[in-house]
Amino acid sequence: MANTGPAPQYVLKANNDQVDQRTSSWVMAVSRYQEPASSYDPSGVPSSQQTLQIIENDVTGITITNSKSAFGKTASIKLKISNVWYPSLINNGDWVCIWMHNDKAQNDRITKLLKTVQTGGNPGTGLCDVNSGLKFVGRITNISTNDTVSGNGKRTITQSIQAQMFLELATSIYYIFKAPVALTPTPTPSSRNASASGASTQGLQNAAIENYQTKLGLDKALTSLAEKFLGFYKSGKSSSFAPDNIVALFFILIMGIDSDAETGVAGVKGTVNDGITQTKDISKILGKPNAKKLWELYNLFLGLQKYKKSGKWWEQFTPEFDDGKVIKTTPKRTKGFVPFTPTMWSNESMWSILSKYVNPVCNEMYTCLRVNEEGLITPTLVHREKPFSTGLFDHLTRDGKVNPDLKITQASESKDGKTKAAVQIDSFQRPPNVSAEAYSQLLGGSNDRTMYASLPRWVVDESIVRSFSYSMSESARINFVQVWGRNAGAEFTGVQLDAEKLKQSSLAAINYYTDEVDVARHGLRAMILESNFDVYTSSDASGSLAPLWARMNADWHFNGHLKASGSLTVNGIVEPVCEGDNLQIRDLVFHIEGVTHNCSISANGRKTWTTSFQLSRGMLASGLSKENQVPLFITHGQERSYTQTQDSDSVPGVTQVQNRLTGEAQTEPQNLKSSIIDAAKGLFS
């Protein structure tokens, strides 16, 4: 599939356009550990397991919720009462996988492959490829039963299961710092003074703590981390301080990754623990039968994202990466300069630790179950620059204003038909300890960012739409953006920063942008941000990246009141749609904030499966036909009569069916019933 536009696209539509003949089906499999009470397990093998449990007909309802804002994706499963009492069969912590289909034959194919796993065979990649319908890979977190008797004496018993993906990111990291000990000889029994006795006690405590942490590998992990950080800092290799590189480093250390070849990161090996394990059945289901550690089943997508223009659709949907089997980094790093600060881990979760290094002013981090370049659906952690940049960036001037010559036209071009030149790297003074190449990557320009128009785009065909609603909110109006930058690393290395002078010099460097016309119309609507990941190396702002970040955020948030947010429900989608991509429907392009799959069985036994999307940042597709194009909003849609049917003249967010119904109802009310029938025929023709 060749990509002729700025974004790779995949069209979602009904099988053979037979909307009314869809057959929803689903199946789940539970991989159970051999001994639920691990302290009773004489084998001591964490990955020991029972026979895979396949559950199909007893599942009466499933809701899978995937939100970009939460690292843990959840599943709620309802089970009918049968000859199996599931609370005695499955347990909290067991692995559970769920597949969904709109074709019973495909569901039978998955069940057959699961039986291959059940009998010890290898299913290949059929359980996790793009056609598999795999929607969930997680662990059970709650099992419940409910026994009620109604007023008329009817007894109802239900069983339900709650499960969560990426539960390993809630792993606690516990590090006990050694208390300082006076360098005095160990007191003899005849020496009974309190201070010496205290020093002796503290010395014994430190010895015990050191031994304890050596066993866990925590001391080596933190020593390695400190050496890496300080080594990068002293050598001036600032690109090594980019947030995504630090996320990769921590992931290696915390997950216990011990293979350079697998990670693509040379010289760094995990030592915190032996690595979280999973059952061999889960390894087979995810297409890696020889994987013994959980990290082997992961993908990390790190860096500023660009996409291919050719290849299979899943290759186009995967960013262009350098080498790396598990940790995949793009050629350019995310924005920010991570300071070295002493690590404080006091029963802190892995996700919390990783989140400290995101630089949320301009980057984002989230988890998802998505396809990779091999066409396999994989648990994925993404750390990237926020992908909302548009051509408006080039029209924000160095005096902190929107270019007054900027005019929006139907062709979505500027007044002279050209885009303005991007900010030049030479506009900022490079800090002395940062290389020109590294600084160029840190600063960037309009061609050095992830563009909203280039994100992978799922195009929804009308044949599967069940409901669609959207709105624009005044609360999203932003017309002034300012970013204050600071870096604790400068303070850590002894550089004294005068806070007031720093603020004054930041203002002089233009760390703000204003939509003056909108302020004059509606008053000030400000967004004030602060980042601890700037590159300050002196008391002035000459090396600051705050002006760039202010410019980027102005591009992202200006005209927010014109961008649509909404929800869309369609017939169940087998393809691996996921949060973090874009979606196009009725000439509008949205960002996917969340995906929910809902399966149920009605009272008459009919199965249904729907997929719902939570959408944001809706803009006209015609305004995103080029990466650096100035965006257009619904208010820029062409006006026309309801009787016109040309696609090029379509009203944004409206179908031809809606046009026909509305137009005929206005001119011939008595024919409304027949017009609805004709419209419905047109929809399914």
Instruction: Render pLDDT for 156-184 as a digit per residue (tens, 0 to 9).
Output: 888 899 999 999 999 887 665 544 444 33
Is the pLDDT score of 620 beyond 90? yes
Give 647 or 504, the one with higher predicted confidence. Answer: 504
For position 419, what pLDDT does the model report? Answer: 41
d(CA 128, CA 106): 13
d(CA 298, CA 368): 11
Is the pLDDT score of 438 beyond 80? no
pLDDT (average), residues 329-348? 76
Say which residues have a Cβ less than 8 Å from residue 236's Cβ, sequence separation at least 6.
Answer: 433, 434, 435
Give the tokens for residue 277.
């394990």
Ordered DSSP codes for 207-246:
HHHHHHHHHHTHHHHHHHHHHHHHHHHHHT-GGGGSHHHH
Task: Compute φ and ψ for 186, nearest 5 degrees.
Answer: -65, 125
Q: Assign 616 a pLDDT band (cuts: 50, 70, 90).
A: very high
For position 546, what pLDDT does the model report? Answer: 85
Instruction: Render pLDDT for 106-162 as a digit per residue (tens, 0 to 9).
Output: 999 999 999 999 999 999 999 999 999 999 999 999 999 888 898 888 888 888 999
For position 398, what pLDDT does the model report? Answer: 76
Q: Starting at the earlier edge strand, list the strands of the sheet with 363-371.
A: 327-329, 299-302, 377-385, 363-371
Question: For the ranges 77-81, 342-346, 567-571, 584-588, which has the lowest average pLDDT?
Answer: 342-346
CA within 13 Å, CB half, 129: 11
Q: Assign 85 a pLDDT band (cuts: 50, 70, 90).
A: confident
Q: Which residues pair with 160 in a beta bridge?
A: 78, 144
Fold of 21-167: Phage tail proteins - horseshoe like beta roll fold (2.30.300)
Taking only Cα atoms into account, the Rg of the chain, rounded to an integer number of angstroms, comes to 29
Q: Assign 15 a pLDDT band (cuts: 50, 70, 90).
A: low
d(CA 259, CA 240): 20
Report the 10 Å Cβ neighbour count for 260: 13
For position 466, what pLDDT does the model report? Answer: 94
d(CA 352, CA 358): 11
Give the burial class of 46: count Cβ atoms within 10 A of its Cβ; 0-12 exposed, 13-18 middle, 19 or more buried: middle
Is the pLDDT score of 278 beyond 60? yes
Q: Which residues pair with 584 in a beta bridge?
A: 459, 589
Is the pLDDT score of 377 beyond 50? yes
Give the tokens for residue 369.
């179950």
Torsion region of 586: left, alpha or beta (phi above 0 gives left; psi -120 to 50 gives alpha): left
pLDDT (average), residues 81-85? 82
d(CA 493, CA 304): 29
Give 382 or 548, the one with higher predicted confidence. Answer: 382
For position 440, what pLDDT does the model report? Answer: 53
The 8-class DSSP code of residue 361 comes to T
Bridging pattern class, strands 564-571 and 25-31? unpaired
Task: Compute φ and ψ for 661, nearest 5 degrees.
Answer: -60, -50
d(CA 618, CA 183): 65
Q: Which residues pair with 619 in a beta bridge?
A: 589
Q: What is the dihedral of CA 172, 176, 177, 179, to 10 degrees?
A: 160
Report the 10 Å Cβ neighbour count for 611: 24
For position 449, what pLDDT does the model report? Answer: 80
For position 350, what pLDDT does the model report? Answer: 87
CA distance to 199, 208, 316, per residue, from 204 (Å) = 9, 6, 59
Give the three-class secondary structure for 455: coil
pLDDT (average), residues 556-564? 96
For position 496, what pLDDT does the model report? Answer: 55
Q: Assign 193 a pLDDT band (cuts: 50, 70, 90).
A: very low
Q: Assign 565 a pLDDT band (cuts: 50, 70, 90).
A: very high
The 8-class DSSP code of residue 561 comes to G
Is the pLDDT score of 636 beyond 60? yes
d(CA 554, CA 518): 13
For position 420, what pLDDT does the model report? Answer: 37
Give the tokens for residue 418.
């050209």
Q: Assign 660 a pLDDT band (cuts: 50, 70, 90).
A: low
Q: Taking Cα atoms as reference points, which of 565, 519, 549, 544 lies closest to residue 393?
A: 549
Task: Compute φ and ψ for 557, nearest 5 degrees.
Answer: -110, -20
Domain ranges of the chain: 21-167, 174-180+207-385, 391-448+473-561, 639-685
Q: Which residues pair with 494 in a beta bridge?
A: none
Mean predicted lDDT score pLDDT of the chain: 78
Give the tokens for residue 152.
């008329």
Is the pLDDT score of 339 beyond 80? no
Which of 38-42, 262-266, 578-582 ranks highest by mean pLDDT?
Answer: 578-582
Contact 163, 77 (CB under 8 A): yes
For position 486, what pLDDT does the model report? Answer: 79
Task: Compute φ and ψ for 598, nearest 5 degrees.
Answer: -130, 115
For position 666, what pLDDT does the model report? Answer: 43
The amino acid sitting at 370 is R
CA within 13 Å, CB half, 26: 31
For position 38, what pLDDT does the model report? Answer: 79
Give the tokens for residue 466.
């069940």
Give the tokens for residue 514.
């204003």
Would the CA dihedral through 270, 276, 279, 283 be positive or negative?
A: negative
pLDDT (average), residues 524-543? 75
Question: For the ranges 6-20, 160-174, 615-629, which has the lowest average pLDDT?
Answer: 6-20
Give the burial class of 449: count Cβ atoms within 10 A of its Cβ; 0-12 exposed, 13-18 middle, 19 or more buried: buried
Q: Assign 445 a pLDDT band (cuts: 50, 70, 90).
A: low
Nearest-5° Cα angle at 366, 314 to 272: 110
Is the pLDDT score of 261 beyond 60? no
CA within 13 Å, CB half, 515: 25
For position 435, what pLDDT does the model report? Answer: 56
Q: What is the pTM of this model?
A: 0.83
Tell the residue number behind the tokens 């305004």, with chain if given: 623
Contact 502, 486 (CB under 8 A): yes
Question: For the ranges 214-223, 447-456, 568-577, 653-662, which has the lowest average pLDDT?
Answer: 214-223
Q: Taking Cα atoms as reference points, which of 166, 158, 164, 169 lies closest to residue 65?
A: 164
